[in-house]
Structure 1
Amino acid sequence: MRDLKDDKRFANTLARGLSVLRAFRPTDKGLGNLEISERTGLPRSTVSRLTFTLCALGYLTHRRHHDKYYLGPAALALGNIAAASFGFIETASPIMQNLANATKTLIGVAIQDDGQMLVVKTWRPENTPPIWINVGYRMPILTSSTGAAYLGVLTDEEQEKLTTAVQGNQTNQYGKVGRKARSDLLAQGYSVVSGSERFSSSINAVATPYRPSEFAEPVAFLSGAPTESLSDERIQAEVGPALVQAVEELRSITGQYYSLVATS
């Protein structure tokens, strides 16, 4: 399949502008043109034109005294509209908050974005200090439980679309990880990437997929915590089954059945 950038329908300028918006992270205290250039891979002169345009349209604001850009009111409005359109998150909130409190783990939901898993909502246990991830946190697909759960429920068409989009030297691994995850999902309802295969040695997590009617792709619900409080044994005995049960409750409310579509 050919690169989208070679497709005459593909608007490169728009794509570059969106990549500037995507460069911002929740922990940023503003970004300069140089930082945006480094994160996007775009020339600084191109970034300068794009940030000027995005400021003019309200998607960025510029604070001159330290020459930094911030997401603007138009970006906030767009984000709020997008969040409101995904009703399953609101429906899931009381279920997932109860799960977070019961397991003393962080519960989250992540989507695939630009070849990574992006956390878009979290639920933290009550009366506990902050836990390791926030909205906007990104995880690799191949070496995270969240990514494995996502891969395990993809159709052939969805997987082809993903591997075409990421275009890296690891694309042949997506099928392998997906098949392993699919087997785990069929056997126990959740996916776990353990030990040296996991992208973080200090964090452990378990994940299970969900297909919202409002979204074109599956998402993944996750339960995670530092490894000292969330061992593989605890996942198997307690947290994994509890996460699966919580997502099953969400499915029963929303009427979204669970299906692993057969792939070759």
Structure 2
Amino acid sequence: MTEPNDPRFATTLARGLSVLRAFRVTDDGLSNAEIAQRTGLPKSTVSRLTFTLGQLGYLVQSPRDDRFRPGPTLVAVGHVAAASLSFLVPAHELMQRLAEETGTLVVLAVRDGDKLVLIRTWRPTRVASIWLEVGQRIPLQPFSSWRAFIAAARPGEIGRIAAERLPGRDALQALLDDRPQALADMALQGFISTPAGSGMTAAYNAVSVPFRSGNLAEPVVFTCGALPAEASVERMETEVGPRLAAAVRTLERLTGQASGPVRMEA
């Protein structure tokens, strides 16, 4: 974990938050050793942090297996954070309808360091879809979601991200080099597309559109994804992409966040 030299930076707090960020939806609890492995922190430091977080209710330790799990305080904080994102209310109906009518999985992702984390998913009820869950993380690669995020990020935001010294700096630079093309794609068609097989591990066809909320300091990204057997690249680009772009534009109008096409800013 990179620790800035700014004297205002609270290192212990940052380490405690990195412990909380180590948990994933698919985990059935984590041991101190597993948390240390995921965070890169010494096990002795992790033991002190998990004890403190447990005392405060952010983690609970099961007497059955001594593994830590998110506690009631963390759950409450998460609900407060989700409630503050007012655009999620109108987004739910729009994106669920989009999932049903296109037969694709629709997800909403926000940046967390060098990953985009899924915070909402909408599944079609009668169609098998790709299996992605809330909490899953999209690595820093030239997928449509990351390309859309970088396209929508303002120069000051890009500078801040670059200053974070994230892992995978080569991947970030490749995305920055691709930004003019991503902006051109957004201007031409209103969405960004990534076929299966693109980037490192993309196993599904995807289209993405960024969205800016007045509640957040950075853009978020809506993505529709489907296995190639369920939706061809042509269908994703001629049908699903335009419908996702229209849904996001509707969401902008409903929330008063309409910003028009994504443009390069000086």
Q: TM-score, normalised by structure 1?
A: 0.94
Looking at structure 1, the residues matched to 215 and 79 of structure 2 have their Cα atoms a distance apart, in angstroms, of: 15
Moved more, 196-205 or 7-16: 196-205
Query: Which residue in the other structure is 1:151 paired with?
Result: 150
Among 238, 243, 265, the residue aligned to 1:263: 265
Residue in 2 that maps onto 1:14 = 13
Residues 141 and 148 in structure 1, CA contact (< 8 A), matched pair in contact too: no
Q: Give deviations 1:196-228, integer Å, cap 9, x for gaps.
A: 433334222110011011111111111011121
Q: Which residue of 2 aligns with 1:203?
A: 204
The runs of 5 or more residues in structure 2 that have no matched partner are: none
Deviation of 1:173 (Å): 1.9
1:163 aligns with 2:165: no
Whole-angstrom distance in 1 between the partners of 2:192 and 2:93: 23
Indicate whether 1:55 and 2:57 are aligned: no
Count of residue pairs the alignment pairs up: 262
* Kept in 2: contact 1:163–1:174 (CA 8 A): no
> How far, CA to CA, are the matches of 1:245 and 1:204 in structure 2?
19
Superposition RMSD on alpha carbons, in Å? 1.6
Relative to structure 2, which stretch is displaced further, 28-37 or 202-211?
A: 202-211
> How far does residue 252 in structure 1 lie from its aligned partner after superposition?
1.4
Residue equivalent to 1:132: 131
Amino acid at match of 1:15: A
What SS does the aligned partner of 2:110 have?
A: strand
- Sort the Cα spacing of 1:130 and 1:208 in 2 relative to 1 into closer, same or farther, 3 A: closer
Q: Distance in 1 between the 2:76 and 2:183 partners?
A: 37
**Cα pair distance change 1:184/1:134, threshold 3 Å:** same
Name whichever of 165-174 and 78-87 sits farther off.
165-174
For residue 67 of structure 1, give the secondary structure of its aligned residue in structure 2.
coil
What residue ranges of structure 1 are gaps of 5+ in the alignment?
none
Sort the Cα spacing of 1:249 and 1:235 in 2 relative to 1 into closer, same or farther, 3 A.
same
Alignment of 1:8-87 (within 5 A): 8-87=7-86
**Identical pairs, percent:** 40
How far does residue 183 in structure 1 lie from its aligned partner after superposition? 1.1
User: 1-side partners of 2:124 and 2:166: how far apart?
Assistant: 38
Amino acid at match of 1:83: A
Matched with 1:188 is 189
CA contact (8 A) 2:113 2:166 kept: no
Distance in 1 (CA, whole Å) between partners of 2:131 and 2:216 is 27
Aligned 8 A contact 2:204 2:226 in 1: yes
User: Could you give the per-residue CA deviations for residues 236-263 of structure 1, whole angstroms, max 9, x where no partner exists?
Assistant: 1110001011111111111212243433
The aligned amino acid for 2:108 is V
Structure 1 Cα separation of the partners of residues 41 and 30 of structure 2? 14
* Alignment partners' CA distance in 2, 1:140 and 1:152: 17
